[in-house]
């Protein structure tokens, strides 16, 4: 009972995150590609509750920021007039949860090198990145489970062929194939098509590792007493694989899943470099993260780590969720194996 309540709580957190991302247009104060060129590399906007007169406001307000002359991108607050945050305000492009008057800016997580609001980009970018990573994880695990399961269960020539092809997949310089794929595509690819392409490519490359892991477990699992017993009762091999052998790989699969999702999100940055990722100005966590691998951003613009923080937070909810599901599953599973 306690278990279920916990899963429920985690699922709620999970839902909240995805809701924010799904309804990015509502939660984000700005369009993700809107450039505020006078405010490039601005720090997160400070929310104030106490004004210059020492008066406390329940509704937070912000001061407009003005560029400081000199080296780099420096700004200071202009405390002469404050602008309150408006909730649920209607703008030309729909209703926004948070907004301020156009004289001031509301950059909750600061801005990037074009003066684009990182918070808004994070919400919009999460859509593509998380979806692509999840689909890719699903795809590579599906192929991995099928390949590893069949190889391990049936053994012999089937095993040899599948495992050698997994080695082939691991060894080939994919980068050239990706460049070739990019070359055969039209120059401009719509974000939705990019999404499908991304997940297909990542999924197709990522199955070899899980396949090896699962094959190892299956090799052992199919010789368990209860599997042999079922075989003795005349169950077909396919049935055995599906019903008795693969459930035992659940631990490996969940462990793989939670490690693959964040990795795949980051992998998109590499694909962007080859021209296969989400191109500017459309945001994705991958291309936002790739900015955070440069000396200048890491050393000067710490707030550009926001996608990293978001990815960690989301991955943690996945991890806890997967763990809880796995434990619940293991309970059912072990009950079954006794039966």
Partner 1 sequence: MRKLAIFSLLAFRAISGIDSYASSAPAPERIQRGEELQVSSAEVGRYGGTLVVGQRAEPKTLNPVTATDGPSREVIGRMMADLVHINRVTQQTEPALASSWKLSTDGRSFTVKLRQGVRFSDGYPFSADDVVFSFRVYLDEKVHSPNRDLLTIGGKPISAVKIDDHTVRFDMSQPYAAAERIFDSVAILPQHLLLKSYEQGSFAQALTLNTAPDTIAGLGPFRLKQYLPGQRLVLERNPFYWKADRDGHRLPYLDEIAFLFVGNEDAQILRFQSGETSVISRFSPDNYPAMAREQQNRGYDLVDLGPSLEYNFLFFNLNELPPDKFQQISREQPWFRDLRFRQAISLAIDRRSIVKLAFGGRGVPIWGNVTPGNKLWINRELPHPERSIPQAKDLLRSAGFSWDEKGKLLDLERKPVEFTIITSSSNAQRVKMATLIADDLAQLGMSVHVVPLEFRAVMDRVFQSNDYDACVLGLGGGDADPNGDMNVWMSNGSTHLWNMHETKPATPWEAELDALLNRQLVTLEYKKRKRIYDEAQALIANNLPFIFLASPNVLVGATKQVANFRPAPLEPYVLWNADELYLRQQGVATAK
Partner 2 sequence: MRILDYLKRRFLHAVLLLAAISVLTFGIAQLAPGTFLDEMRLNPQISAQTVDSLRVQYGLDQPLPVRYLRWIASAFAGEFGYSLAYNMPVSALLWTRMRNTFLLGTTAMLIAWSLALPLGIWGAFRPKGWIDRGNSAISTLLLSSPELALGMLFMLAAARFGVLPTGGMTSLYSEQTGFAVADVIRHLAIPATVLALVAAPMLLRHVRAAMLEAWNSPFVKAAKGHGIGNRRLLLHHALPAAANPLISLFGLSLAGLVSGSFLIEVIMGWPGLGPLFINAIFARDLHVVMAVVMLFSVLLVIANLISDVLLYAVDPRVRAEC
Residues that bind partner 1 (CB under 8 A): 33, 35, 37, 40, 71-73, 113-115, 179, 182-183, 187-188, 272-275, 279-281, 294-296, 299-300
What's phi and psi for 297, nearest 5 deg? -70, -45
- Does 244 contact partner 2 by CB under 8 A? no
| Residue whose CB is less far from partner 1, 55 or 184 | 184
CB of 236 to partner 1, least distance (A): 49
* Residue in 230, 247, 304, 228 with CA at minimum distance from that of residue 73: 304
- Does 229 contact partner 2 by CB under 8 A? no
Q: Judged by CB under 8 A, how many residues of this single chain contact partner 2?
A: 59
Cross-strand bridge partners of residue 95:
90
CB of 202 to partner 1, least distance (A): 18
**219, 282, 325, 328: which one contacts partner 2 (CB under 8 A)?**
219
**1, 180, 187, 339: which one contacts partner 2 (CB under 8 A)?**
180
CB of 7 to partner 2, least distance (A): 14
Helix (H, G, I), strand (E, B) or coil at 192: helix
Distances (CA, A) of 192 to 128, 129, 225, 300: 8, 11, 48, 34
Angle in degrees, 0-180, between the axes of helices 250-273 and 208-221, rounded to the nearest 10: 170
How many C-beta atoms surround the C-beta of residue 185 within 10 A? 13
| Residue whose CB is less far from partner 2, 99 or 213 | 213
Instruction: Tell me the C-alpha distance between 32 and 280, whole Å.
Output: 11
**54, 70, 94, 173: which one contacts partner 2 (CB under 8 A)?**
173
CB contact set of 154 (below 8 Å; sequence gap of 6+) = 237
316 binds, among partner 2, partner 1, none (CB under 5 to 8 A by kind): partner 2
Subset of 254-293 contacting partner 2 (CB under 8 A): 254-255, 258-259, 262-263, 265-266, 269, 289-290, 292-293
What's phi and psi for 261, nearest 5 deg? -55, -55
| Residue whose CB is less far from partner 2, 39 or 215 | 215
**170, 196, 229, 332: which one contacts partner 2 (CB under 8 A)?**
170
**209, 244, 278, 287: which one contacts partner 2 (CB under 8 A)?**
209
**53, 80, 102, 299: which one contacts partner 2 (CB under 8 A)?**
299
| Virtual torsion, Cα 305, 311, 313, 315, nearest 10 deg | -150
- Does 54 contact partner 2 by CB under 8 A? no
28, 34 Cβ separation under 8 angstroms: no
Angle in degrees, 0-180, between the axes of helices 118-154 and 2-22, rounded to the nearest 10: 130
CB of 294 to partner 1, least distance (A): 6
147 binds, among partner 1, partner 2, none (CB under 5 to 8 A by kind): none
137, 264 Cβ separation under 8 angstroms: yes
Percent helix / strand / coil, the chain, rounded to 5: 65, 10, 25
| Virtual torsion, Cα 121, 123, 124, 129, nearest 10 deg | 100
* Residue in 2, 17, 237 with CA at minimum distance from that of residue 129: 17
Subset of 140-159 contacting partner 2 (CB under 8 A): 155
User: Rule CB under 8 A: which residues touch partner 2?
Assistant: 155, 160, 163-164, 167-168, 170-173, 175-177, 179-180, 183, 209, 212-213, 215-217, 219-221, 223-224, 251-252, 254-255, 258-259, 262-263, 265-266, 269, 289-290, 292-295, 298-299, 308, 311-312, 315-316, 319-320, 323, 326, 330, 334, 337-338
């Amino acid at each position: 009972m306690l278990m279920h309540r916990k899963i429920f709580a985690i699922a709620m957190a999970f839902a909240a995150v995805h809701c924010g991302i799904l309804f990015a247009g509502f939660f984000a104060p700005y369009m993700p590609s809107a450039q505020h060129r006078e405010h490039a590399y601005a720090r997160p906007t400070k929310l104030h509750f106490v004004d210059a007169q020492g008066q406390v406001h329940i509704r937070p307000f912000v001061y407009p920021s003005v560029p400081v002359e000199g080296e780099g991108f420096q700004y200071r607050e202009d405390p002469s007039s404050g602008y309150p945050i408006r909730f649920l305000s209607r703008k030309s492009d729909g209703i926004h949860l948070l907004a301020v008057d156009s004289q001031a800016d509301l950059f909750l997580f600061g801005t990037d090198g074009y003066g684009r609001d990182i918070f808004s980009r994070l919400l919009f970018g999460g859509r593509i990145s998380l979806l692509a990573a999840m689909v890719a994880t699903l795809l590579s695990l599906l192929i991995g489970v099928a390949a590893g399961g069949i190889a391990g269960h049936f053994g012999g020539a089937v095993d040899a062929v599948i495992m050698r092809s997994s080695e082939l997949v691991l060894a080939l310089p994919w980068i050239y194939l990706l460049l070739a794929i990019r070359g055969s595509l039209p120059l401009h690819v719509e974000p939705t098509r990019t999404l499908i392409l991304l997940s297909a490519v990542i999924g197709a490359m990522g199955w070899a590792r899980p396949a090896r892991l699962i094959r190892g477990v299956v090799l052992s699992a199919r010789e368990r007493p209860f599997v042999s017993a079922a075989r003795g009762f005349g169950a077909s091999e396919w049935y055995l694989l599906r019903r008795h052998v693969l459930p035992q790989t659940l631990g490996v699969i969940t462990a793989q899943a939670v490690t693959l999702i964040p990795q795949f999100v980051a992998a998109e940055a590499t694909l962007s470099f080859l021209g296969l990722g989400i191109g500017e100005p459309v945001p994705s966590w991958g291309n936002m993260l790739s900015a955070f691998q440069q000396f200048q951003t890491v050393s000067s613009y710490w707030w550009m780590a926001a996608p990293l923080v978001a990815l960690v937070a989301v991955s943690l909810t996945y991890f806890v969720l997967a763990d809880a599901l796995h434990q619940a599953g293991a309970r059912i599973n072990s009950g079954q194996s006794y039966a």
